[in-house]
């Protein structure tokens, strides 16, 4: 396997990952996507480059977890709903099925400094806050509570 030429923003991500204790909470994916999408790309192309970057980062002593393709795709969708990235064009994929298209994305230049790049989930309410208030009571699925359910007619 050939060695990947790391770009300056990728080297910064690796250094930040190494310097942060534990490395789990250091923002990586959103910052990487922001740096990568200076030039437009489609999701699977980003995913391939992300996997190569994670592998190379592991070789350099920063074991960044790459996650799954579906998680990456969901992350790009979340960035799109927040307005951080936007689709630039669509083209037919390399499939024989006519309904598959590649959507190319680019960074929204007005939101380069937005803090949502570090954590796009920040606007969603936390389940821990819901736990403090108390989860809603489960409703009885069948019949009334405390009353035995009749399975057979007699």
Q: Residue 91 is inside which H or E element, if any?
A: strand 85-92
Structural domain count of the chain: 1
85-92, strands of its sheet edge to edge: 41-42, 101-107, 85-92
User: Token pair of 84, please?
Assistant: 């951080």
Task: List, in sequence order, every residue forming a beta bridge with 101; answer none if it has no partner.
Answer: 92
**Domain span at 20:** 8-133
**What pLDDT, on the 0 to 100 scale, is given for residue 15?**
86
> Quick one: the chain helix, strand, coil %, rounded to 5?
45, 10, 45
User: Token pair of 70, please?
Assistant: 């579906």
* Residues 50, 1: Cα–Cα separation, whole Å: 16
Tell me whether residue 150 is in a domain: no
Tell me whether residue 18 is in a domain: yes
Tell me whether residue 121 is in a domain: yes
What does the pLDDT look like over 27-57, one tens digit per residue? 689 999 999 999 999 999 999 999 999 999 8
* Residues 144, 133: Cα–Cα separation, whole Å: 26
What does the pLDDT look like over 127-153, one tens digit per residue? 667 667 776 666 655 555 566 666 555
**What is the reported pTM?**
0.74
CATH number of the domain at 111, please: 1.10.10
Q: What is the mean pLDDT of the chain?
A: 82
Tell me whether residue 3 is in a domain: no
What does the pLDDT look like over 59-103, one tens digit per residue? 988 888 888 999 999 999 999 999 999 999 998 877 776 677 889
User: Token pair of 45, please?
Assistant: 């192309």
Tell me whether residue 71 is in a domain: yes
Tell me whether residue 153 is in a domain: no
Tell me whether residue 44 is in a domain: yes
Tell me whether residue 2 is in a domain: no
Phi-psi region of 115 (alpha: psi -120 to 50; beta: other; left: phi over 0): alpha
């Amino acid at each position: 396997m050939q060695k990947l030429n790391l770009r300056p923003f990728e080297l910064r991500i690796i250094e930040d990952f190494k310097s942060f204790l534990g490395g789990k909470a250091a923002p990586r994916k959103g910052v990487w996507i922001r740096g990568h999408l200076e030039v437009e790309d489609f999701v699977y192309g980003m995913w391939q480059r992300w996997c190569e970057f994670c592998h190379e980062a592991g070789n350099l002593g920063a074991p960044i977890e790459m996650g799954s393709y579906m998680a990456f795709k969901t992350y790009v969708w979340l960035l799109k709903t927040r307005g951080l990235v936007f689709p630039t064009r669509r083209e037919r994929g390399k499939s024989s099925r006519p309904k598959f298209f590649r959507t190319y994305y680019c960074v929204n230049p007005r939101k380069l400094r937005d803090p949502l790049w570090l954590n796009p989930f920040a606007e969603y309410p936390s389940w821990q806050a819901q736990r403090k208030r108390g989860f809603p009571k489960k409703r009885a699925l069948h019949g009334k509570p405390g009353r035995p359910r009749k399975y057979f007619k007699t």
